[in-house]
Amino acid sequence: MPLVSGHIRYDVSGELTAIEGDLVPMLAGLPSSPVQLCAAAQALVILPGLASDLGVGASRAGEKHIRAASGILRALAALDDRPVDQPRPLTDRVVGTCRHFAVLSCAFLRHRGIAARARCGFASYFVPGSFVDHWIVEYRHPVDERWVRVDPEILGFEFVGAPHDLAAGEFVSGGEA
């Protein structure tokens, strides 16, 4: 992560969130609002269980081990090389985990110059009474001057009241735990 005067620059891509130059044209139609950017990332990833249920072959299971945003985008382009803002069938999405949703969201936010960071921790909303290991993304709200926690994997679902602005206690970062 780039440092300026000893401070981390969350608005600049790091090793895992950098988007290699030849992939930038795929991002031309990305929206500009933080939640819309997270929703764009959500539309590019499919969870392994759902992929299997839809007949996505075991040959693609390795996609869930891709770490960097550019690697995820390369795998996506191999399936469907249209810009990332174009809708894709579920079977033409990258097979990934919550980390993929968070890393792509963080990469898209930083690509738009929005301070963001992927967070690893525990979600309280998947299994009642339990905290399940999970990844989300945070972006720095430009007016409220606070970090807003977004779960890009569950946008549009009813696991919580506001997945675009998680309430206190719904997600606990590793450091907080």
Number of helices and strands (H, E) in the chain? 4, 8
pLDDT of 53 higher than 70: yes
> For residue 22, what pLDDT band results from cuts at 50, 70 and 90?
very high
**Across 52-72, average pLDDT:** 96
Q: What local confidence, expressed as pLDDT, does residue 5 receive?
A: 55
Q: What local confidence, expressed as pLDDT, does residue 7 receive?
A: 79
What does pTM read for this prediction?
Answer: 0.94
Helices (H), the chain: 34-42, 48-53, 69-79, 98-111
> For residue 142, what pLDDT band results from cuts at 50, 70 and 90?
confident
> For residue 2, what pLDDT band results from cuts at 50, 70 and 90?
low
Phi, psi dihedral angles at 82 (to 5 degrees)? -70, 165
**Across 96-119, average pLDDT:** 97
pLDDT of 1 higher than 70: no
> For residue 3, what pLDDT band results from cuts at 50, 70 and 90?
low
The two most distant CA atoms of the chain are separated, in Å, by 51
The answer to whether 95 and 60 have CB atoms below 8 angstroms apart is yes
Q: What local confidence, expressed as pLDDT, does residue 96 receive?
A: 98
> Reduced to 3 states, what is the DSSP secondary structure of residue 46?
strand
95 Cβ contact list (under 8 Å, min separation 6): 45, 46, 47, 48, 51, 56, 60, 61, 63, 64
